[in-house]
Structure 1
């Protein structure tokens, strides 16, 4: 999924770009609206405080050019009038400072609302993943991978957090819904069975790696 991100703050811009790319998005980051091209993105994140053409004017221009692309505005302005003006033209409005998890979730929700995620098919090493049908195939064997309920939940939780180190506690509570107890082998067993289905060599996994003493990480 291609995200057009317009932000003149170098520190915030590099942070957001890196975090979104770690979640599997392709991000084009611009410091202003001067270098816009005609390529249609899947999502737009726009800062309001920009040099030259302000974010509100640029947002109107982007919405005219890409009416079917969701637009989220970021701003340090928290006044109600600014929020209302932003929401007049954008699909969403977030104030700075913000948590990356919230921004990523809002991107995901709007992409789903615009029926963009459902069209998304992507590769993860030797796996082909169809987000619409939730189908996983192995390109090396040309076969579909069938997962059990918990394996399925684990796999797609990992895909939503690509490249992130996830603790055992975080994974267990997200999938089973109650606190992890140290020494419980349930998660480890499910990870082992999941690896047997998705890894080329389960004894030397390259997709779901163990981060010793912490938890696991799914690699691209």
Structure 2
């Protein structure tokens, strides 16, 4: 498993020390800075940045803008005591995520993992849907929302995914996924309708219905 390099920019030494110990315990390589003075010298080796907003001198927003101007696609999670909507929107515009202090470290670790999976993992993106084929998981948009399939819905979706860009007839689904006594063409229609609703594919851009032929999962990305 890859060990990721995390840059922690936090001027509160008590918080910084606790976070550093937690992150190291989870297997991350941590570089902790209490201000932005030397951050740009370290940045190219980093996979993820955890950035406090209120820093001495240059604040976290200004520092992050300079990082982005370098053309580096390093995800940034902002930490701030500011809970107002304007601050959150500003943070989410500059960076990739925003958490309000105080926070539960377990939530931060989960958000970090999802962000690292998205940026460096094995996800396949189809329009607004992100697919982790290895672990048979599906997410929407920003990877904060995992699609909650039933067991049969998951089988249908990944049967489509494993045969992506191929037309699958109703008989294909019935032969591969249902017992003889349970076979009914209408059951395929019902389940695919439910899957489309869950992945927000009401226009059939991800799972296309080819009338008289069957269904196809398209792998193009929506621009």
Kindly indicate whether the alpha-carbon contact (under 8 Å) linking 1:40 and 1:66 is maintained by their aligned counterparts in 2. Answer: no
The answer for the alignment partner of 1:59 in structure 2 is 64
Kindly indicate whether the alpha-carbon contact (under 8 Å) linking 1:74 and 1:93 is maintained by their aligned counterparts in 2. Answer: yes
The answer for the alignment partner of 2:115 in structure 1 is 110
The answer for the alignment partner of 2:33 in structure 1 is 30
In structure 1, what is the Cα distance between the partners aligned to 2:109 and 2:70? 24
In structure 1, what is the Cα distance between the partners aligned to 2:50 and 2:10? 8
Q: 1:76 aligns with which of 78, 81, 84?
A: 81
- Provide, for residues 72-112 of structure 1, a one-character-per-residue CA deviation record: whole Å limited to 9, x for no partner: 00000001000011111100000000000000010100001
Could you tell me how far 1:133 is from its partner in structure 2?
A: 7.5
The answer for the alignment partner of 1:96 in structure 2 is 101
Quote the RMSD (CA, aligned, Å): 2.0
Q: 1:86 aligns with which of 83, 87, 91?
A: 91
Asked whether 1:49 is paired with 2:61, we answer no
Structure 2, unaligned runs of 5 or more:
123-132, 136-223
In structure 2, what is the Cα distance between the partners aligned to 1:64 and 1:74? 21
- Structure with larger Rg: 2
In structure 1, what is the Cα distance between the partners aligned to 2:74 and 2:100? 21
Q: Secondary structure at the match of 1:51?
A: coil
Matches within 5 A, 1:1-220: 1-36=4-39, 37-38=41-42, 39-65=44-70, 67-114=72-119, 116-117=120-121
- Provide, for residues 127-181 of structure 1, a one-character-per-residue CA deviation record: whole Å limited to 9, x for no partner: xxxxx989xxxxxxxxxxxxxxxxxxxxxxxxxxxxxxxxxxxxxxxxxxxxxxx
Q: Secondary structure at the match of 2:45?
A: coil
Structure 1, unaligned runs of 5 or more:
119-131, 135-220
Q: Secondary structure at the match of 2:77?
A: strand
Q: Identify if the C-alpha distance between structure 1 residues 103 and 66 changes in structure 2 by more than 3 Å, giving closer, same or farther.
A: farther
In structure 1, what is the Cα distance between the partners aligned to 2:26 and 2:71? 24
> Taking structure 2 as the reference length, what is the TM-score of the superposition?
0.51
Q: Secondary structure at the match of 2:54?
A: coil
Q: How many residues matched?
A: 121
Over 3 Å off, 4+ runs: none
